[in-house]
Structure 1
Amino acid sequence: MKRRAAREKAFQALFQVNNSEIDIEEAIQHVIEEPVVDAFMHDLVHGVANHQSEIDQWISDNLVNWTFSRLPKVEKTVLRMAAYEIKYNEDVPSQVAINEAVELAKIFGEEESGKFVNGVLSKMI
């Protein structure tokens, strides 16, 4: 699975986990078509879940005129994933993580989501 597709699947799984009573492994199984889970996607989903409190604080510290609790669910999930990649995944350059997050926000969010995500993440690096 290509990394862009893995990020999309990771987003879908994390969105389910954060907005319902589903557990991580069940969410992953809902979004993949293959019986084998992509290693990058698995790392992304579990990494975000395992570091969520630190990631949320880091995002919160970099918001301007917003509170973390007010963030829309799509943007919150995208920001968590990108923040994880920037802070914990040394294989992914920060600019790549930001570009991929902006693309996810455009796909799953509102019209201005990409710009918002880009602004927050740019402030974080």
Structure 2
Amino acid sequence: MKRREAREKALQTLFQLENTELTVEEAISHTIGEEDVNEFFEGLVLGTVENLPAIDEALSEKLENWSFDRLAKIERTILRLSAYELLFTPETPKNVVINEAIEISKIFGDEKSSKFVNGVLSKF
């Protein structure tokens, strides 16, 4: 599994976890099925879940004229995943994380998502 695919699958897994009773393991299983769990993918999911309060706090500080709860679920999930990488995985270059988030938001979000995601993440 390439890193882009791992990020997309991590996004899908984290999206499932929000407002559901699924466990992390169940969400991972729903996303990847019988496929072997990729270490990078698993690290993104578990790291984001484990650090969610710190991630949400950091994101809330970067939002201008927006409350965190007002964000669309997909944009909130993309921002959380990307903020995890920016804050907790210093080995990944920041410009790579931001570019990946923009591209993923073009796939899963609407036409304005990528600009919004870029604007928020560029403040990191």
Tell me the TM-score normalized by structure 1: 0.96
Number of residue equivalences:
124
SS at match of 1:22: coil
Post-superposition Cα deviations, 1:24-65, rounded to whole Å, max 9, x if no partner, equal 111001111444200000000000000000000000000011
Aligned mates of 2:84, 2:42 — CA distance in 1: 13
Residue of structure 1 in register with 2:17 after alignment: 17
Q: Aligned-residue CA RMSD in angstroms? A: 0.9
1:59 aligns with 2:79: no
Q: Which amino acid letter does the alignment assign opposite residue 32 of structure 2?
A: I
Residues in 2 aligned to 1:19 and 1:53: alpha-carbon distance in whole angstroms:
16
Deviation at residue 18 of structure 1 after TM alignment: 1.0
Describe the SS at the equivalent of 1:19: coil
- Which 5+ residue runs of structure 2 have no aligned equivalent? none
Runs of 4+ in 1 over 4 A off after TM superposition: none
SS at match of 2:101: helix
Partners of 1:19 and 1:4 in 2: how far apart? 25
Alpha-carbon distance between aligned partners in 1 of 2:114 and 2:64, rounded to the nearest angstrom:
16
Q: Percent identity?
A: 53
